[in-house]
Every structure is written in structure tokens, then in C-alpha cells.
Structure 1
């Protein structure tokens, strides 16, 4: 998938260093809501191992990490991951973030729209959902612009890296 100067594709083994750099440059702001990814990418070596785990999950169809790559610099600038996949429905959860230098430019909104279309056409998901903390207005904006609707707030639903238990808004889109 491509738009403007960006390519969206599944994480590849040779992208470990670029993936590590993306996380390292955004670690402080990601650690609360991408706790698993942040904890498994503390060093380049750990990131290489994590990317091997991810390759197996892609093969097993249990996790799909779509990288947003700037074609001019060949750097990964964002991630849209498809997780908590339930093939019985089928449904999945989407999570996303973009490098702080690329925020508020519409990149993650456009990339998310392309990934959603791809997921529906390729995997025939009947439902996609997103979770976001009510304070995360940027993510909520992306979610709403992509046609998701607030389904409710789940109280005490997530423990941040700092140990705080927070409420999460659930947004769904049915196809």
C-alpha cells in the first residue's frame, strides 16, 4: 500500500534497526500504551529477537504489524498493529502511533484508512475495534475520522507502565 511519499507494509526482518530507532525516539510517550512493544525493544539486540517473534506471529496470523515507511528517507515513521485477532467472528483490534516529528500531518489517519480497507478486503473482518484513553485526543481524532464509533468506556481496563490503572474508551466499526 502506498500514498504520497509513504509505503505501508508488514514488518520485515531487515527492518529491526529502523523499528528500534522509531521506538527509541518515541519511548517516553509510548511506554504507557505500547508497554509490550516498548519493553521488548530496549536494545537493538532485543529488538532483533522481538522481530523474530513477530515474524512467527505473522506466519501464524495472530498479529500483523504494518509499518509506515517514508520512501524519501527509508525510515519507519509509524506503526499500525492488528492484534487480539479472533478468527471465529472474525474481528481484531487496531493500535497505532506515529513518530513525534510526523504528528498532526494526517499521515496516520490516511495510513489507517488504507490498512482498514486492506484488512476488510483481504481477511474479511466483520468488526475492528480500537481502544484509547480519553486523554489521548490525537488518537481519538484518528479513530473517529476512520469511521469508528464510541461503544463505551471500560473502567479500570488497562495498567500503564507506571502502574496506573486507567479507563479506556472502546471504539468499533462493523463491516
Structure 2
């Protein structure tokens, strides 16, 4: 998938260092809302092991990390991931983030749109959901611009890296 100067594709086995660099450059911004990823990528060695786990999850259709690459620089600048996949329904949860240097340019909104179109067509998902804390205005903007609707707030639903337990808004989108 491509748009403008950006390419989107699944994380490849040999891209652990690039993945680590993306996380490391944005660690302080991600630790509240990507706690699992941040905790598994503290060092390059940790990240390489985590990337091996990710490749198994991709193979087993349990997790799909779509990396956003700047084609001018070749570096990862963001992620749209598909997680908590329920093959029975089928439904999944979408998450996303963008490198701080690329914020507020509509890149992650467009990338999420393309990933949603792709996975609905390819995997026949009938429902996707996104979770966001009310203070995460950027993520909420991406979610709403992609046609997801607020379904409700789940109180005390997520523990941040710092141990804070927060409420999450749940947004859903259904497909025929």
C-alpha cells in the first residue's frame, strides 16, 4: 500500500533495528498508550527477540503490524497495528502511532484508512474497534476521521507503563 511518499507493509523479519529506532525515538510519547510494545523493546536485543515473537504472531494470524515508511528516507515513521484478532466473528482492534516529526500531517489517518480497507477486503472483518484515553486527542482524531463511532467508555480499563489505571473510550466500525 502506498500514498504520497509513504509505503505501508507488514514488519519483516530483518527489520528489528528499524523498529527499535522508531520506538526509542518516541518512547516517552508511547509509554502511556503502547505499554506492551514499550516494555518489550527496552533494548535493541529485547526488540530483536520481540520481533521474532511478532513474526510467529503474523504467521498464526494473531497480530499484524503494518509499518509506515517514508520512501524518501527509508525509515519507519509510524505503525498501524491489528491486534486482539477474533477469527470466529471476525473482528479486531486497531492501534496506531506516528513519529513526533510527522505528527499533524494526516499521514497516520491516511495509513489507517488504507490498512482498514485492506484488512476488511483481505480478511473479511465485519467489525473493527479502537480504544483511546480521552486525553489522547491525536488518536481520537485519527479514529473519528476514519469513520469509527464512540460506543462507550470502559472505566478503569488500562494500566499505563507508570501504573496509572485509566478509562478508555471504545470506538467501533462495522462492515457488511
TM-score, normalization by structure 1: 0.99
> Cα distance, 1:120 vs. partner?
0.6
| Greater displacement, 41-50 / 117-126 | 41-50
> Cα distance, 1:32 vs. partner?
1.1
Unpaired runs of 5+ in structure 1? none
For 2:59, the equivalent position in structure 1 comes to 59
Unpaired runs of 5+ in structure 2? none
> Cα distance, 1:14 vs. partner?
1.5
> Cα distance, 1:13 vs. partner?
1.4
Separation in 1, partners of 2:82, 2:117: 13
For 1:10, the equivalent position in structure 2 comes to 10
Please report the RMSD computed on the Cα atoms of aligned residues, expressed in angstroms: 0.5
Cα deviations by residue, 1:62-86 (Å, 9 ceiling, x for unpaired)? 0000000011111000001100000
Q: Secondary structure at the match of 2:171?
A: strand
Matched residue count: 175
The runs of 4+ residues in structure 1 deviating greater than 3 Å are none
For 1:137, the equivalent position in structure 2 comes to 137
Cα deviations by residue, 1:1-45 (Å, 9 ceiling, x for unpaired)? 000000000000121111100000000110111011111111111
Q: Secondary structure at the match of 2:67?
A: strand
Q: Secondary structure at the match of 2:14?
A: helix
TM-score, normalization by structure 2: 0.98
